[in-house]
Chains A and B, each alone.
Chain A
């Protein structure tokens, strides 16, 4: 049962989404006004933080891993843009407060996922293969994730640069599976069937599950 998706799901866990408790989320990346990063540097920054999170492992606990990855996730992902794209026409139906809540929860959920699932290191490593402009203001950064046994997974990122600021991730395609596509199809279906509050509640429940250790 589900044999055919067995191998890709761990990859999804790695490449898609990401952070745990809501502790200090809002403050995590505030005040970060360093020089504008390149797309490649953005991805390398995330990869380094992921490796650090994995190496911190179970000894650091969920909160320890969250503190490592959350600030980097907030700095490297554009959750406002991801939220807009993931919800499509539903985004415009939300009021400003709902949009703000969704962006915040999306960021926390992403960091929670990374902190919850990246709890061990076994010699894995990332490498940036290529960075290529796909169209003005949009770059693709193509990377590999190599396991200890030599198995190579692909993680391909789409980044945008708004107003000359840092390049930020708006989509991750892990072994061919697009995070944005997955989010969009799942989230819009949920909103259609159960409404926006149910979507928000589901994501918050998942975040809490990671934080409490009932989910990993």
Chain B
């Protein structure tokens, strides 16, 4: 049973686009690291993740791309993306967001049935794109504070509020219901390879940032808050930077209509 759980976890970590959760209290706090009291622990893990990607997943991906045709790699990533969908639309419903939940459910059904288990992304052609979501976002919508920002080994940016979502994801994802642990291990292994393939450009972007750790943390935290806000614009966020030195004192974000 332990092996089965490990296989599931491996597969999920690799395959789920778990958009956890995090609160961003504005540019100033994000930049000051007010939500990152664990930076001394997070940073070495972040660097280890980058090292791992650069030295293990990167070469694996090069081999993967060398021996497989593009349509095969696209199909694989489609299948893993489709497997994410139950977790995504379930969280839409838990957040009370019925329309995106129905769209997510429709996307999953269309791709599972007409896309042959998700191999073909038919829903994309029907204007049913994949959206981001996660149980961390749900908890944020429910008012649970972010807690400290975390960088998890092999996974990347997360937060204390995000951790329960990883457990939930195990039970919601289709691999949990696979009949054998061998199938789950195979799923997990393929998920790792797919992750290396799909994430490579984005990891390169993080590596190229002026400060990769700060870049990844701020981007993740701000986007999480955006998801919690239902994709609505925080006008205070637009203005907040204006009150930073040397132009402080011109006006307050509270004046936003």
Measured CB to CB, the residues of A under 8 A from B are 1-10, 12-13, 84-85, 88-89, 91-92, 132-135, 138, 140, 142, 147-151, 154, 156, 158, 170-171, 173, 175-178, 180-182, 184-190, 199, 202-203, 206, 209, 215
Contact A177 B57, beta carbon cutoff 8 Å: no
Asked whether B223 lies within 8 Å of A186 as measured between CB atoms, the reply is no
Contact B211 A186 (CB under 8 A): yes
For residue B237, give the distance in angstroms from its CB to the closest CB of chain A: 6
User: CB-CB contacts of B223-250 with A at 8 A, as 1s and 0s?
Assistant: 1011101010111011111101111000
Cβ distance B230 to chain A, nearest Cβ, rounded Å: 10
Tally of contacts, chain A with chain B, CB under 8 A = 204
Select which of A5, A180, A186 is within 8 A of B210 by beta carbon: A186
Residues of chain A within 8 A (CB-CB) of B218 are: 177, 181-182, 185-186
Task: Say yes or no: is B93 at the interface (Cβ < 8 Å to chain A).
Answer: no
B158 close to A4 (CB less than 8 A): yes
Contact A1 B49 (CB under 8 A): yes
B113 contacts A by Cβ under 8 Å: no
User: Does B251 touch A at the CB level, under 8 Å?
Assistant: yes
Set of chain B residues within 8 Å of A150, measured between Cβ atoms: 124, 126-129
How many angstroms between the C-alpha atoms of A113 and B202 in the bound complex?
A: 14
B121 to chain A: which residues have CB within 8 Å? 149
Chain A residue, CB-CB nearest to B204: A215
Q: Which residues of A contact B2 (CB under 8 A)?
A: none
8 tightest A-B CB contacts, nearest first = A176-B226, A181-B27, A150-B127, A185-B31, A151-B129, A149-B124, A180-B241, A2-B156
Verify A3–B27 contact, CB threshold 8 A: no
**Alpha-carbon gap, A190 to B30, bound state (A):** 15
Closest Cβ of chain A to B83, distance in Å, is 13
List chain B residues, Cβ under 8 A from A142: 233
Interface CB pairs A-B, < 8 A, 5: A3-B17, A9-B201, A12-B219, A89-B245, A150-B127
Bound form: Cα–Cα A206–B209 in Å: 9
B220 sits at the interface (CB 8 A): yes
